[in-house]
Amino acid sequence: MFNTTAWNRLRYDAYAPIYDAVAERAFRRARQAALGQVHWRPGMRVLLVGAGTGLDLPWLPRDIELHATDLSPAMARRLERRAEALHRDVQAEVMDAEALDYPEGHFDVVVMHLILAVMPDPARGLAEAHRVLADNGQLCVMDKFQADARPAGLGRRALNLVTSAIATDITRQARPLLDDAGFAVEADRPVMMGTLFRALLAQKHG
């Protein structure tokens, strides 16, 4: 499958100038719904993984310590400009979601929106999220997923050879991924296009 870290960096650098035009309005309500499931408290240390151009920023509380990463330097630069325009203090870094440069147990909340279906190895990305979360920390996920009850059929797997190269994997299953990574799902709701896009809140096992 043509889905590598190097390829993703190249294509998202190329997508950066048009990303907001495509994704801002389309995913606005889904982002709000996903972040609305988090149990927010003042002073929380929060990490946005694969934060893109920062489209989650308007929907986050202001009384938190906010960090953000993205694989694409072009995306990270646009995130920084959005943060400045919104008067948000965000520590933004160019970083691979599958190799986070943060210590264990560092964050109270990790947000992964529209990244689990993109990264080459989502299990490794979730293992990193689990590592950097504090005990009982919260994982906020919003993405497109294949139904948990059954694996993708032959036709969907064939189509995925194309979609995973240019956009996103359409065969990944949310709950198996989260369960295997050591998360307990607390909330799981469809947020867009029927049940294709789902928002999940999960807690790290202590």
Q: What pLDDT sits at residue 101?
A: 98
Can you spell out the DSSP letters for 96-115? Answer: -TTS--S-TT-EEEEEEES-
**Residue 157 to residue 161: CA distance in whole angstroms:** 7
Instruction: Could you please state the CATH topology (level 3) that the domain comprising 5-204 is classified under.
Output: Rossmann fold (3.40.50)
**For residue 1, is pLDDT > 50?**
no
Kindly report, residue by residue over 98-150, the tens digit of the pLDDT.
999 999 999 999 999 999 989 999 999 999 999 999 999 999 999 999 989 87
Phi, psi of 128 (to 5 degrees): -70, -40
Q: What pLDDT sits at residue 161?
A: 64
**Residue 202 to residue 72: CA distance in whole angstroms:** 26
Chain CA centroid to CA 107, Å: 15
Q: Which residues are CB-neighbours of 153 under 8 A, at least 6 positions away?
A: none
> Among the residues of 39-134, which ranges form H helices?
73-85, 122-132
Kindly report, residue by residue over 72-99, the tens digit of the pLDDT.
999 999 999 999 999 999 999 999 999 9
Q: Residue 37 carries which side chain, given as an amino acid letter?
A: Q
Please identify which residue in the block is written with the tokens 């109270």.
Answer: 108
- Which of 53, 56, 81, 52 has the alpha carbon at shortest distance from 66? 56
Mean per-residue pLDDT over the chain, rounded: 92
**Residue 104 to residue 102: CA distance in whole angstroms:** 7
Domain ranges of the chain: 5-204
**For residue 166, is pLDDT > 80?**
no
Q: List C-alpha distances in Å: 194 to 30, 82, 131, 146, 190.
A: 12, 30, 32, 12, 7
Model pTM score: 0.93
Structure tokens at 127: 């293992």
**Residue 184 to residue 26: CA distance in whole angstroms:** 29
**Cβ–Cβ under 8 Å, residues 170 and 114:** no
- Which of 151, 150, 137 has the alpha carbon at shortest distance from 181? 137
**For residue 164, is pLDDT > 80?**
no
Kindly report, residue by residue over 10-46, the tens digit of the pLDDT.
988 999 999 999 999 999 999 999 999 999 999 999 9
Q: What pLDDT sits at residue 165?
A: 63
- Residue 133, beta-bridge partner list: 107
Kindly report, residue by residue over 62-71, the tens digit of the pLDDT.
999 999 999 9
